Structure 1
Amino acid sequence: MRIDSPGLTTDLDLLRLQGSTVTDHGDHLVVRTPANPTFWWGNFLLVPTAARSDEVERWTSRFVAELPDAHHRAIAFTQPGGDTEAWAAHGWDVEVDVDLATTSVPAPATAPDGILLRALETDDDWEQSAHVGGSDTPEDRRDGRLVFERRRAAAQRALVESGRARWFGAFDGDRLVANLGIVRLGDLARYQDVVTLESHRRRGIAGALVRAAGEWALEDPAVGRLVIVAEDGGPAIGLYQRAGFAEVARHVGVSRAPSPT
């Protein structure tokens, strides 16, 4: 199945590297991540069209058939637009993602005084990373989210130890307050999981991390383009554009928890 979006193609590459399986059924892909069953976008369908109002039931049924043990529903469409309002009317959350890319090192950015940027290395670094990843989760759901984030951190650490990736953190003293990853995938390098604690946002930390990660990725002469994905209309897009990234593609994801029985 042909996929033109660099965000989606690198998503699939990263999932395969982390042990996911991707099965091509011709008119859709099925992605499964047995090691992390609560990872919605590690267990989903990918459809090479726009979201259509007359196919809500078709793809919902296909998801259930392919992933019967999943406690969620998640379907990605490679094309933007479509009848997303029809999916929303059936209780699905709709997200439009924007792929941005650059062939240059991101614009210079300096972390504020008192913030140290360095690679994640120790067990404590990675445990803190899991807590940062779940920092916006409501208190009553935090324990479950932390299970997911620890599984994800373990997969990220394995990528780092393989030599393909590096995760950078911003530390306020010994406390991790922001982090992101970047993975070299042939001629592309893909940013991952840019997260900053609410207490440390709007201080230039994310921009400094984006710069540091881009510098590292482009040290490899095989890498010719940096790719990052952001939610349409979200605050991150402006930051990435100021860093030198430009939009190259869009795609749609729909997701929801299953209806109670």
Structure 2
Amino acid sequence: MRLESPGLTTDLDLLRLQGSTVTDHGDHLVVRTEANPTFWWGNFVLVPTAAHADEVDRWVARFEEEFPDAQHRAVAFAHDGGDTDAWAARGWDVEGDVDLATTELPTAADAADGIQLRVLTSDDDWEQSAQVGARDTPEEQRDPRLVFERRRVTAQRGLVDSGRAQWFGAFDGDRLVARLGIVRLGDLARYQDVVTLESHRRRGLAGALVRAAGEWAFDDPAIGRLVIVAEDGGPAIGLYQRAGFAEVARHVGVSKPPPDAA
């Protein structure tokens, strides 16, 4: 199945590298991550069209057939537009994503004084990264969220150890306050998990990390384009555009916990 979105194609490449399986059923893909069953966007159905109102029941049933024990529901559509209102009317969350890309090194101001940028190396660095990932989780959901984040960290460290990837952090003293990853995939490099703690936003940290990661990616002469994905309408898009990225594609994901967990 051919996908035009570099965000989705690199998502699938990254998932495969981390042990996920992607099964092509002709008119849709099934993505499965057995090592992390609570990873919603590692266990989902991907449809290569926009959403259609008359197909809601079909894709819900298809997901439930493939993932009968899942504690979530997740379906991705490779094109934006369509009738996402039909999903929202049934209580599903609808999230649009924008793929942005550049062939040039991103521009960015220097990070704030007192902040150190460096790669994540130690067990403590990676544990802090997991904690940052769980930063906004309600207390009653924090333990399972940390299990999920630590599983992701294990997969990310595997990518770093393979030489394909690097994770960068911004540290205020010994405290990790922002982080992101970047993975080389053929002639593309894909950014991952760009997060800045609320206490340290609007200080140039994300932009500085984006540039540092871009420098690392372009050290490989095979890399010709950097790809990053941002939430449609979110504040990150402006940051990336100011750094030199331009929109190249859009797509949509719909998700929902199962009825007995809502």
Counterparts of 1:9-158 in structure 2, within 5 Å, are: 9-158=9-158
Which residue number corresponds to residue 220 of structure 2?
220
Query: 2:4 aligned with 1:4, yes or no?
Result: yes
* Structure 2 alignment gaps of length 5 or more: none
| Aligned-partner SS, 1:213 | helix
Report the alpha carbon displacement of residue 93 of structure 1 after superposing the two structures with TM.
0.3
Distance 1:125 1:209 in 2: 16
SS of the equivalent of 1:142 reads helix
Distance 1:23 1:68 in 2: 17
Verify: 1:210 aligned to 2:207, yes or no: no
In 1, the alpha carbon distance for the partners of 2:151 and 2:197 equals: 20
Aligned length: 261
The aligned amino acid for 1:121 is T
SS state of the match for residue 98, structure 2?
Answer: strand
User: Equivalent residue for 1:168?
Assistant: 168
Structure 2 distance, partners of 1:98, 1:232, is 6
What's the TM-score, normalizing by structure 2?
Answer: 0.99
Deviation at 1:109, TM superposition (A): 2.3
Identity %: 80
Match for 1:199: what amino acid?
S
1:172 and 1:249 mapped to 2: Cα distance?
Answer: 35
How far apart, in 2, do the equivalents of 1:235 and 1:203 lie? Answer: 14
Q: Which amino acid aligns with 2:257?
A: A
| Structure 1 SS opposite 2:259 | coil
Query: Which one is further off, 135-144 or 173-182?
Result: 135-144
Q: Counterpart in 1 of 2:244? A: 244
The answer on whether the counterparts of 1:109 and 1:211 sit within 8 Å (CA) in structure 2 is no
Compute the displacement of 1:202 (Å): 1.1
**Amino acid of the residue matched to residue 117 of structure 2?**
L
TM-score, scaled relative to structure 1:
0.99
Amino acid across the alignment from 1:169: G
The offset of 1:108, in angstroms, is: 3.1
> Alpha carbon RMSD of aligned pairs, Å?
0.8
Q: CA deviation at 1:143?
A: 1.1
Bigger mean CA offset, 182-191 vs 100-109: 100-109
